[in-house]
């Protein structure tokens, strides 16, 4: 760490402090928490792109899987749904697994030819109908149970902290499947495949109400921290706040944000520490060697595809962990909020701007770009209102321009990416 | 000529190669002697530190490969020297891409030289056999009506019978008045048809003489032709 | 009789819409495959390129409608199409000049170009939303149907109707014209052949004196034409919404990969494979089975393999199958 890098981080904290004084500390801490989450996601993408040069554009899918993990791990189970529909769902899942295993075994064991193809198609088609035959009625039963508040299986009722790990596992599983299929082929196949899987994961979350309540959203996901209402009733808390001379309501929400912040810092520190260790280990050096010259690495006997699979799974898992953390911060799962722009593209810009291949760079990019992301919209408004100030009040063009300020984000982010890629491809904190 | 790839170490050291009109000049030598490098230097595909390239007395040292094509040079690379997905005829047309005049005359000449190509002219070039592909490659290069035809190991990877036939064709090409400069692994056969032979070792001219003289030179025989 | 009725239902709900959708996908996939063939990267901005061209078509359509220009019964958009194409060519050439050219000269790896195309995607997407907004736009004026379902019934006496929309037939006719022109260009003209030669073997093309910058420029112009036509046809047939065009990337890429990346014929076949699979997997066959099966066997459920929300899963599954079993695609494309 040199002075330049320290001052870059210092600058961001200065921004946050300015926000704290000029707007409110609640806003500042809210920003900080999302900065921390962004940093973790950026670390995940950096593992894939920075270490190994893998281009995956399905980050949003892995983040969303983390969100699902938060729901299925920590929400209280809906007893009736489990009793009536649970067995159906479980057997359906079992059928799906058996079908896929059977199909792959046929592919491996039966000698190539028309018989193998027919056999495999028969198993897959039969399995699909069996799966749907068991899933559909069970799902219908579950979705009828108290649809206004439940209508889904609920979760396992475990502490929400566990879900962060589960989110990582979910994402790792999905990454394993995608990586198995598309790694080892031309580089952009991974991009296309991840684009596809992300759309499907989000379609599942939006439509499988028995699992995630779909567009009805899951609200009230348990928190790993205290609740504002409880704090506001607690004697000791009120006394302490009074002693500090703050307002109780504001202080309680500040306290909650602060506790989230501490948890996030711990997770970020662990992942960052592990990433640094990995990057500077023989494994990390091998990864970079593969990235810089795949053919030479292959000639030296490295199994490039296998290494790529490893690094792709690890990076996706980190994104899954961050996804679960984010859902537990929000306390709700809203499928509509998973926009590729926000969770794939923005994270990519963070990594590129911060410095691909450098973990600290990814963290810096996460902080900086999140801040920017939040501030671009008001800035766009401000710029447009100056630009249009000469126009007649109520003119349709003026209104159109002011309404469109939100889209400035897209243009700005795209421009930042292209400019960095072109003029500073190493980013703010270049790889060592 | 002195030069190498990019800013790397020099591979060629004061090496000289020349060919007269209608003659065949062959560059032979051990692996890593800089044979292919010399060809690329002549064609302007690498940086030359000193020396010059001229054609018909005109200095073309500073021209790009494309401009050298226009000046009458044609080059057949060792690998990937045809458009596999294009038909034989289209390959020849692409060879003549820079020409604005009527190319049917030249195409007839190429078909006369390589009758098999006329037969296969609608077929995709990638579907042909190794020897036929080489004929397409040479034919493509001839379409520019070059003064000098440069061939980089035209017989690499083809069977001995096909090799003999290819050499016969190359002699035919030379008879039409085109100078031929080629690099060959099969040194003995190549020198047999060569008017002039260059033995290159570590980027320097070691022996320069007529093909038959080199073949009978005991030292050349011992070191480079395996006795 | 019942079999005939079932066939009419299939034609009405699967075959006719899939032919139209397949033509649109094929035109889109052609654009993607040409960029892969000549510029050697997967252009993730292709959906936005389509949207951009279509947006100009829509703006011009509004202008023409405002001044009372119309070619009824055909939609005004056809009149506006040339303007959309010109606008699209302009933006695509500008992007090449300011973005892609640099990486081409620097001989960057394809993945860097892919990432740059992602940056372009977002700038274009922002521009489109800025100009025309993120909402749905319907711009298909003119006559709606060539044959209405009801007219078909009275005409033929069948119980089932077969409707053919004007936009569907325009799609097919336009696609045939555009594709025929493209193949004529690629196979019969010197410039077209030089484009194929460049795509086949870049180094040898240089040795033959083919100017790469010219090939690249012509490729972009063709891509812009294909994209605008594909986008306009899709928008006429359905509606124009910027995000939908981004989502079209997956089926279009699937089509290009299925056919073999870089192979134009493959892209067309791939487009129809994807379109037919997507529609036939998400169609509810209840009515068809009711005709085909004896009355007491008639299905009670919708007999739908997948809900339409999962139509992307169909293109994705086909993509996965191709990657697993034949990564070069049905027709030989570039696999590495």
> What residue segments make up the domains of chain B, in order of their start?
2-72+146-224, 82-141
Q: In CATH, what number is assigned to the domain containing residue C49?
A: 1.10.3470
Contact list in C for residue A185 (CB cut-off 8 A) is 323, 327, 335-336
Residue of A341, A404, A417 lying closest to C130 (CB–CB): A404
Could you tell me if C203 lies within 8 Å of chain B, comparing CB atoms? yes
Could you tell me if A203 lies within 8 Å of chain C, comparing CB atoms? yes
Residue of A191, A340, A404 lying closest to C42 (CB–CB): A191
Beta bridge partners of B205: B200
Query: From the CA of B219, how many Å to the nearest CA of chain C?
Result: 38
Could you write out the DSSP letters of every residue in A314-355?
Answer: HHHHHHHHHHHHHHHHHTEE-GGG--HIIIIIHHHHHHHHH-
Residue of A55, A207, A345 lying closest to C114 (CB–CB): A55
Residues contacting C63, CB < 8 A, separation 6+: C80
The answer to whether the CB atoms of A200 and C310 lie below 8 A apart is yes
The answer to whether the CB atoms of A407 and C134 lie below 8 A apart is yes
Could you tell me if A288 lies within 8 Å of chain C, comparing CB atoms? no
| Coil vs helix vs strand at C302 | coil
Query: Which uninterrupted H or E stretch holds B180?
Result: strand B179-183
Domain-embedded: residue A191: yes
Q: Domain of C131?
A: 2-325
Touching chains, A (3+ CB pairs < 8 A): C
Per the CB < 8 A criterion, the answer to whether A152 and A78 are in contact is yes
Could you tell me if A387 lies within 8 Å of chain C, comparing CB atoms? no
Whole-number pLDDT of residue C336: 40
The answer to whether the CB atoms of A192 and C42 lie below 8 A apart is yes
Whole-number pLDDT of residue B48: 72
- Same domain flag for A317 and A235: yes
Per the CB < 8 A criterion, the answer to whether B55 and B120 are in contact is no
Residues contacting A348, CB < 8 A, separation 6+: A45, A49, A57, A59, A417, C115, C118
Final residue in a domain of this structure, among A108, A136, A153: A153
- Same domain flag for A143 and A263: no
- Same domain flag for A86 and A171: no
Q: Which residue of A has its CA nearest to C247?
A: A199
Residue of C200, C205, C210 lying closest to B85 (CB–CB): C200
Helix, strand, coil % over all residues of chain B, rounded to 5: 40, 20, 40
Average pLDDT over all residues of chain C: 91
Q: Which residue of B has its CA nearest to C204?
A: B81
Could you tell me if A121 lies within 8 Å of chain C, comparing CB atoms? no
Helix axes A3-22, A25-46, angle to 10 degrees: 150
Cα A302 from chain centroid (whole Å): 31
Whole-number pLDDT of residue B13: 66
Contact list in C for residue B80 (CB cut-off 8 A) is 201, 203-204
- Same domain flag for A107 and A167: no
Q: Which residue of A has its CA nearest to C130?
A: A404
Residue pairs between chains A and C whose CB atoms are closer than 8 Å:
132
Whole-number pLDDT of residue C333: 64
Contact list in B for residue C209 (CB cut-off 8 A) is 66, 69-70, 97-98, 144
For residues C244-255, give the mean pLDDT. 93
Domain-embedded: residue A317: yes
Q: Which of A199, A356, A402 to mutate to test the interface with C (most CBs of C within 10 A)?
A: A199
Q: Which of B133-147, C41-55, C221-235 is the least confident region? A: B133-147
The answer to whether the CB atoms of A404 and C129 lie below 8 A apart is yes
Whole-number pLDDT of residue C79: 93
Residues C273-294: tens digit of each pLDDT: 999 999 999 998 888 888 888 8
**Given pLDDT bands bounded at 50, 70 and 90, which one contains residue B2?**
low
Residues B14-24: tens digit of each pLDDT: 677 777 888 88
Could you tell me if B80 lies within 8 Å of chain C, comparing CB atoms? yes
The answer to whether the CB atoms of A192 and C125 lie below 8 A apart is no
- Same domain flag for A278 and A394: yes
Residues B59-81: tens digit of each pLDDT: 888 888 878 888 888 888 888 88
Cis preceding-peptide flag for B210 (omega within 30 of 0): no
Contact list in A for residue C312 (CB cut-off 8 A) is 196, 199-200, 203
Residues C68-117: tens digit of each pLDDT: 888 888 899 999 999 999 999 999 999 999 999 999 988 888 888 999 99
Is the pLDDT reported for residue B137 higher than 70? Answer: yes
Whole-number percent of chain C with pLDDT over 90? 63
Query: From the CA of C207, how many Å to the nearest CA of chain B?
Result: 6
For residues C136-156, give the mean pLDDT. 88
Could you tell me if B97 lies within 8 Å of chain C, comparing CB atoms? yes
| Coil vs helix vs strand at B16 | coil
Task: Check residues C135 and A405 and name the one with the higher pLDDT.
Answer: C135
Domain-embedded: residue C42: yes
Beta bridge partners of A332: A219
Domain-embedded: residue C196: yes
Q: Domain of A66?
A: 3-77+154-423
**Given pLDDT bands bounded at 50, 70 and 90, which one contains residue C334?**
low
Q: Do chains B and A touch (3 or more CB pairs under 8 A)?
A: no
**Given pLDDT bands bounded at 50, 70 and 90, which one contains residue C178?**
very high
Domain-embedded: residue A324: yes
Contact list in C for residue B82 (CB cut-off 8 A) is 201, 204
Domain-embedded: residue C331: no
**How high is the ipTM of this complex?**
0.88
Q: Which of B76, B80, B83, B89 to mutate to test the interface with C (most CBs of C within 10 A)?
A: B83
Give chain C's domain count.
1
Whole-number pLDDT of residue C161: 86
Is the pLDDT reported for residue B127 higher than 60? Answer: yes
Residues B164-191: tens digit of each pLDDT: 888 888 888 888 888 888 888 887 888 8
The HSE-up count of residue C107 (CA atoms within 13 Å, CB side) is: 2
| Residue A61, token pair as written in the block | 């899918």
Task: Check residues C336 and B13 and name the one with the higher pLDDT.
Answer: B13
Domain-embedded: residue A431: no
The answer to whether the CB atoms of C115 and A200 lie below 8 A apart is no
Final residue in a domain of this structure, among A128, A153, A178: A153
Which residue has tokens 């598309």?
Answer: A182
Final residue in a domain of this structure, among A153, A173, A205: A153
Residues A327-370: tens digit of each pLDDT: 999 999 999 899 888 898 899 999 999 988 899 999 999 999 99
Residue of C190, C196, C210 lying closest to B86 (CB–CB): C196
Domain-embedded: residue C332: no
- Same domain flag for A115 and A188: no
What residue ranges of chain A have pLDDT lower than 50?
Answer: none
The HSE-up count of residue A280 (CA atoms within 13 Å, CB side) is: 9
For the domain covering B2-72+146-224, report its CATH number. 3.40.50.300
Touching chains, C (3+ CB pairs < 8 A): A, B
Domain-embedded: residue A390: yes
Give chain A's domain count.
2
Query: From the CA of A401, how many Å to the nearest CA of chain C?
Result: 8
B24 backbone dihedrals φ, ψ, rounded to 5°:
-115, 125
Domain-embedded: residue A430: no
Task: Check residues A287 and B49 and name the one with the higher pLDDT.
Answer: A287
């Amino acid at each position: 760490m040199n002075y330049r890098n320290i001052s870059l981080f210092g600058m961001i904290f200065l921004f946050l402090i300015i926000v704290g004084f000029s707007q409110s500390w609640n806003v500042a801490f809210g920003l900080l928490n999302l900065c921390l989450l962004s940093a973790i996601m950026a670390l995940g993408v950096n593992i894939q792109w920075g270490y190994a040069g893998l281009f995956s554009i399905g980050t949003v899918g892995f983040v969303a899987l983390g969100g699902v993990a938060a729901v299925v791990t920590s929400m209280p189970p809906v007893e009736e749904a489990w009793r009536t529909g649970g067995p159906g769902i479980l057997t359906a899942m079992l059928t799906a697994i058996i079908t896929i295993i059977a199909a792959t075994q046929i592919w491996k064991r039966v000698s190539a030819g028309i018989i193998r193809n027919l056999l495999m198609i028969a198993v897959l088609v039969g399995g699909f109908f069996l799966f749907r035959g068991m899933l559909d009625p069970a799902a219908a039963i579950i979705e009828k149970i108290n649809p206004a508040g439940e209508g889904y299986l609920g979760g396992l009722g475990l502490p929400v902290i566990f879900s962060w790990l589960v989110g990582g596992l979910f994402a790792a599983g999905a990454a394993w499947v995608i990586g198995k299929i598309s790694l080892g082929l031309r580089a952009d196949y991974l991009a296309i495949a991840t684009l596809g899987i992300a759309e499907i994961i989000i379609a599942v979350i939006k439509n499988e109400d028995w699992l995630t309540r779909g567009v009805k959203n899951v609200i009230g996901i348990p928190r790993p921290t205290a609740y504002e209402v409880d704090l506001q009733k607690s004697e000791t808390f009120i006394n302490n706040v009074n002693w500090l001379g703050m307002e109780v309501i504001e202080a309680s929400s500040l306290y909650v944000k602060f506790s989230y912040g501490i948890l996030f810092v711990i997770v970020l520190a662990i992942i960052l520490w592990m990433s640094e260790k990995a990057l500077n280990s023989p494994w990390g050096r091998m990864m970079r060697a593969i990235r810089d010259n795949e053919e030479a690495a292959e000639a030296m006997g490295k199994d490039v595809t296998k290494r790529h699979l490893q690094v792709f799974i690890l990076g996706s898992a980190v994104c899954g962990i961050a996804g679960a953390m984010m859902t537990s911060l929000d306390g709700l799962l809203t499928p509509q909020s998973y926009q590729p722009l926000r969770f794939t593209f923005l994270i990519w810009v963070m990594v590129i701007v911060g410095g691909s291949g450098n973990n600290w760079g990814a963290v810096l990019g996460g902080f900086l770009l999140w801040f920017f992301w939040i501030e671009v919209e008001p800035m766009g408004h401000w710029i447009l209102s100056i630009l249009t100030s000469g126009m007649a009040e109520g003119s349709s063009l003026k209104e159109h321009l002011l309404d469109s300020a939100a889209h400035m984000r897209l243009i700005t982010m795209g421009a930042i990416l292209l400019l960095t890629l072109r003029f500073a491809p190493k980013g703010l904190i270049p790889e060592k | 000529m002195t030069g190498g790839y990019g800013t790397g170490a020099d591979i060629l050291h004061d090496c000289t190669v020349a060919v007269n009109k209608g003659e065949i000049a062959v560059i032979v030598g051990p692996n890593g002697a800089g044979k292919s490098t010399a060809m690329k230097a002549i064609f302007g595909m690498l940086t030359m530190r000193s020396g010059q390239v001229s054609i018909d007395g005109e200095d073309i040292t500073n021209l790009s490969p494309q401009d050298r094509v226009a000046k009458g040079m044609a080059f057949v690379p060792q690998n990937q020297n045809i458009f596999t997905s294009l038909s034989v005829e289209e390959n020849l047309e692409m060879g003549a891409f820079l020409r604005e005049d009527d190319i049917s005359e030249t195409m007839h000449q190429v078909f006369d030289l390589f009758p098999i190509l006329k037969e296969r002219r609608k077929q995709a070039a990638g579907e042909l056999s190794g020897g036929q592909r080489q004929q397409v490659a040479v034919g493509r290069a001839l379409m520019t009506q070059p003064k000098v035809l440069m061939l980089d190991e035209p017989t690499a990877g083809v069977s001995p019978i096909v090799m003999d036939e290819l050499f016969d064709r190359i002699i035919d090409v030379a008879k039409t008045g085109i100078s031929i400069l080629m690099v060959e692994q099969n040194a003995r056969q190549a020198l047999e048809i060569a008017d002039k032979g260059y033995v290159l070792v570590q980027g320097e001219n070691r022996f320069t003489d007529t093909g038959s003289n080199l073949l009978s030179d005991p030292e050349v025989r011992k070191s480079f032709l395996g006795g | 009789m019942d079999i005939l009725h079932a066939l009419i239902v299939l034609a009405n709900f699967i075959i006719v819409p899939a032919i139209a959708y397949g033509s649109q996908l094929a035109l889109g996939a052609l654009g993607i495959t040409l960029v892969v063939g000549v510029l050697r990267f997967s252009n993730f901005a292709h959906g936005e390129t389509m949207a951009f061209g279509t947006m100009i078509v829509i703006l011009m359509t509004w202008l023409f409608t405002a001044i009372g220009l119309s070619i009824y019964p055909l939609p005004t958009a056809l009149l506006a199409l040339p303007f959309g194409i010109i606008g699209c060519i302009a933006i695509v050439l500008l992007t090449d000049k300011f973005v892609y050219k640099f990486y081409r000269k620097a001989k960057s790896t394809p993945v860097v170009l892919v990432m740059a195309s992602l940056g372009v995607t977002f700038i274009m997407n922002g521009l489109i939303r800025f100009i025309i907004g993120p909402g749905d736009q319907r711009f298909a004026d003119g006559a709606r149907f060539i044959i209405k379902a009801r007219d078909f019934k009275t005409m033929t006496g069948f119980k089932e109707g077969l409707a053919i929309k004007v936009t569907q037939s325009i799609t097919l006719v336009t696609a045939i014209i555009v594709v025929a022109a493209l193949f004529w260009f690629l196979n019969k003209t010197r410039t077209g052949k030089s484009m194929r030669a460049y795509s086949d073997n870049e180094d040898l093309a240089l040795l033959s004196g083919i100017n790469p910058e010219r090939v690249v420029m012509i490729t972009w112009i063709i891509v812009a034409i294909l994209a605008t036509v594909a986008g306009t046809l899709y928008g006429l047939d359905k509606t124009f919404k910027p995000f939908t065009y981004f989502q079209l990337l997956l089926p279009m890429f699937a089509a290009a990969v299925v056919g073999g990346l870089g192979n134009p014929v493959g892209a067309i076949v791939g487009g129809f494979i994807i379109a037919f699979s997507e529609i036939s997997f998400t169609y509810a066959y209840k009515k068809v089975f009711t005709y085909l099966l004896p009355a007491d066997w008639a299905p009670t459920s919708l007999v739908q393999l997948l809900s339409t929300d999962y139509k992307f899963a169909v293109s994705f599954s086909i993509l996965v199958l191709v990657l697993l079993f034949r990564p070069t695609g049905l027709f030989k494309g570039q696999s590495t």
